[in-house]
């Protein structure tokens, strides 16, 4: 078995990427779906930006180093990962704020309709943002959050927009983006896809799915660093009618004309609001560039192989443990989840042994398989450590049961 796994690692076409990341020695990092690890090139890039760009050119850096163009330039790179065209993606703000902007713009495009359709088990911020917008508009809108199997039925003639996360954060289950978009369009509704667990994890094709809008996260599979800027996608056909509710000056057609009235930029820059966080964007660019070097089809193939190796090994040693993800890898993203009533303590015991996954209430242990820095040997070690922690009840200690602020 060990020899088999070593040979898988030796034959791995992505193996060379591992040394490009700073993952601490002895750690199996299965939480890149929550916070990707730093590429080794990030620290020198940021140090150089501070010393050579900001430090030497000061305010001239906005022009001389192209900082002002960074939200769209980096957006064009992310576009290649998500099946979008140049000029359709901007990097800005957080995923939550971008959800607000796109939801408000979508409702404005369907003024006669009042319903936002989403999934009850969607990532909460998406639902909270929708709730807040409904309250703010105060025009009788409704958030209709239903079970995944009821989505098609809930998307009727009242639906203005369908807001969904392609890969469920808890279970890793992946929606059929093209089919649900078709269903939404047949009902006359728009779609917003949250790609937080998709971008950089596997090939995404927004154009093939005819998606209207999308948002995504910079600090998960894009490895941009804690709180990295997020991105948003506006299909070119919607650009002329897309109106951001956050009409800040950098979304203006001529920010430096300092006109008294708002005129949106023609490009996707109209989705920007305030001054971009340049240092954070430069860090994100390093992560995105690294992903663009890899063949994303190979990334997907290896993530399936890693997660299947892990799943099969765990199921062999702990057949009673409940799989909380689809067994069919085609129906999930990069992540495998198992449910356990003491999932939090089990996760903490695993972390104490160097296997870093995470926990999502009420009982889900998540293990993300990001192929650029994980080896087959890591997947095997993670499975064996999980089996051992469960067999020996190593989790059954008070210090593993005290919940931290971030789980
Ligand atoms: C991680 C995640 C977010 C994060 O939102 P932020 O505003 O960047 O904190 C949003 N949506 C989903 C589905 C996520 O998984």
- To the query of whether residue 262 is one of the catalytic residues in this protein, the response is no
Options 21, 29, 100, 219, the catalytic residue? 219
**Which of 92, 169, 172, 232 has most ligand 1 atoms within 8 Å of its beta carbon, as the pocket-test mutant?**
169
CA of 274 to the centre of ligand 1 (A): 20
Does the Cβ of 169 fall within 6 Å of ligand 1? yes
| Pocket of ligand 1 contains residue 119 by CB under 6 Å | no
With contact defined as beta carbons under 8 Å apart, do 231 and 98 qualify? yes
Do 239 and 366 fall within a single domain? Answer: no
Give ∠ CA 154-324-230 in degrees, rounded to 5. 65
Q: Is residue 56 part of a domain?
A: yes
Considering the domain boundaries, does residue 39 fall inside one?
A: no
Q: What is the pLDDT of residue 308?
A: 97
Taking the alpha carbons of 201, 299, 311, 407 in that order, is the dihedral positive or negative? negative
pLDDT given at position 406? 85
Q: Can you give the pLDDT at residue 2? A: 66
CB 163, CB 211: distance < 8 Å: no
* Ligand 1 proximity of 118 Cβ (cutoff 6 Å): no
Quick one: 229 and 344 in the same domain?
no
pTM above 0.75, yes or no: yes
124 and 25, same domain (yes or no):
no
Beta bridge partners, 231, equal 91, 216
Cross-strand bridge partners of residue 161: 116, 190
pLDDT recorded at residue 309: 97
**What is the b/e burial string over 138-147, where b = at least 16 CB atoms within 10 angstroms of the residue's CB?**
eeebebbbbe
- 375 and 306 both lie in a single domain: yes
Residue 94 and residue 150 share a domain: yes
Q: By CB neighbour count within 10 A (0-12 exposed, 13-18 middle, 19+ buried), where does 132 fall?
A: middle
Res 370: pLDDT: 97
Q: Do 178 and 56 share a structural domain?
A: yes
Q: From start to end of 12-138, where are the E strands?
A: 28-29, 89-91, 115-119
Q: Based on the domain organization, do 193 and 330 belong to the same domain?
A: no
Contact partners, residue 237, CB within 8 Å, separation at least 6: none
The enclosing domain of 239 has a CATH number of 3.40.640.10
| Tokens standing for residue 335 | 């992540």
What pLDDT digit, counting tens, does each position of 296-326 carry? 999 999 999 999 999 999 999 999 999 999 9
Q: Work out which ligand 1 atom sits closest to the CA atom of 230.
A: 8
pLDDT at 405: 85
CATH of the domain at 325: 3.90.1150.10
Query: Of 292, 326, 361, which residue constitutes the final position of a domain?
Result: 292
Nearest residue by C-alpha to atom 15 in ligand 1? 196
Residues 6+ apart with CB under 8 A from 240: 266
Catalytic residue (choose from 220, 270, 302, 360)? 220
- Regarding whether 25 and 100 lie in a shared domain, the answer is no
Residues 299 and 286 in one domain: no
Within a domain: 322: yes
In a domain, 407, yes or no: no
Same-domain status, 18 and 162? no
Ligand 1 centre from 387 Cα, in Å?
A: 31
Query: Does residue 182 carry a catalytic annotation?
Result: no
- Among residues 236, 260, 292, the one where a domain terminates is 292
Domain of residue 346, residue span? 2-30+295-401
Both 158 and 266 in one domain: the answer is: yes
Distances (CA, A) of 323 to 269, 383, 407: 43, 13, 20
**Residue 3: per-residue pLDDT:** 67
**150 tagged catalytic:** no
Q: Which atom of ligand 1 is nearest to the CA of 126?
A: 11
Please tell me the residue having the least CA distance from ligand 1 atom 14.
Answer: 196
Annotated catalytic residue 144: no
Q: Are residues 99 and 158 in the same domain?
A: yes
Q: Is 152 a member of any domain?
A: yes
Going residue by residue through the chain, which has 407 residues, state the pLDDT in tens, using 9 for 90 and above.
Answer: 566 999 999 999 999 999 999 999 999 999 999 999 999 999 999 999 999 999 999 999 999 999 999 999 999 999 999 999 999 999 999 999 999 999 999 999 999 999 999 999 999 999 999 999 999 999 999 999 999 999 999 999 999 999 999 999 999 999 999 999 999 999 999 999 999 999 999 999 999 999 999 999 999 999 999 999 999 999 999 999 999 999 999 999 999 999 999 999 999 999 999 999 999 999 999 999 999 999 999 999 999 999 999 999 999 999 999 999 999 999 999 999 999 999 999 999 999 999 999 999 999 999 999 999 999 999 999 999 999 999 999 999 999 998 888 88
Residue 176 CA to chain centroid, in angstroms?
17
Indicate which residue of 31, 93, 194, 378 is catalytic.
Answer: 194
Check if 194 is active-site: yes
Rg (CA), the chain: 22
Domain end: 292, 312, 343, which one?
A: 292
The total domain count for the chain is: 2
Atom of ligand 1 nearest to the CA of 123: 13
Is position 324 within any domain?
Answer: yes
Residue 36 lies in a domain: no
Q: Could you tell me if residue 339 is inside a domain?
A: yes
């Amino acid at each position: 078995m060990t020899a088999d796994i070593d040979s898988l690692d030796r034959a791995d076409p992505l193996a060379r990427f591992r040394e490009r990341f700073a993952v601490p020695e002895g750690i199996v990092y299965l939480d890149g779906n929550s916070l990707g690890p730093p590429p080794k090139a990030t620290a020198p890039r940021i140090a150089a930006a501070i010393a050579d760009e900001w430090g030497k050119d000061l305010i001239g850096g906005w022009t001389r180093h192209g900082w002002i163009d960074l939200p769209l330039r980096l957006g064009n790179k992310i576009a290649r990962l998500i099946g979008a065209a140049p000029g359709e993606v901007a990097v800005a703000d957080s995923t939550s704020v971008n959800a607000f902007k796109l939801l408000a713009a979508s409702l404005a495009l369907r003024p006669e309709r009042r319903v936002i359709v989403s999934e009850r088990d969607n990532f909460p911020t998406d639902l909270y943002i929708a709730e807040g917008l409904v309250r703010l508009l105060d025009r009788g809108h409704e958030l209709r959050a239903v079970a995944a199997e009821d989505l098609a039925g809930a998307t009727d003639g009242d639906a203005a927009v369908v807001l969904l996360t392609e890969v469920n954060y808890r279970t890793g289950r992946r929606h059929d983006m093209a089919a649900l978009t078709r269903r939404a369009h047949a009902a006359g509704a728009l779609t917003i896809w949250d790609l937080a667990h998709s971008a950089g994890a596997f090939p995404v094709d927004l154009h093939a799915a005819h998606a209207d809008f999308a948002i995504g996260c910079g600090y998960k599979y894009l490895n941009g660093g804690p709180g990295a800027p997020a991105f948003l996608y506006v299909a070119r056909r919607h650009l002329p009618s897309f109106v951001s509710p956050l009409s800040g000056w950098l979304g203006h057609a001529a920010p430096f004309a300092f006109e008294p009235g708002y005129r949106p930029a023609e490009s996707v820059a109209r989705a920007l609001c305030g001054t971009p966080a340049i240092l954070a964007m430069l860090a994100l660019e390093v992560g995105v560039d690294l992903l663009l070097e890899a063949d994303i089809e190979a990334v997907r193939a290896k993530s399936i192989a890693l997660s299947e190796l892990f799943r099969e090994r765990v199921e062999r040693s702990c057949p009673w443990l409940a799989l909380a993800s689809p067994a069919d890898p085609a129906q999930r993203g990069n992540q495998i989840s198992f449910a356990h009533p003491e999932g939090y303590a089990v996760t903490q015991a695993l972390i104490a042994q160097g296997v870093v996954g995470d926990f999502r209430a009420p009982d889900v242990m998540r293990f993300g398989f990001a192929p650029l820095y994980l080896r087959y040997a890591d997947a095997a070690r993670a499975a064996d450590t999980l089996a051992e922690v469960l067999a020996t009840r190593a989790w059954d200690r008070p210090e593993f049961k005290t919940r931290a602020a971030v789980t």
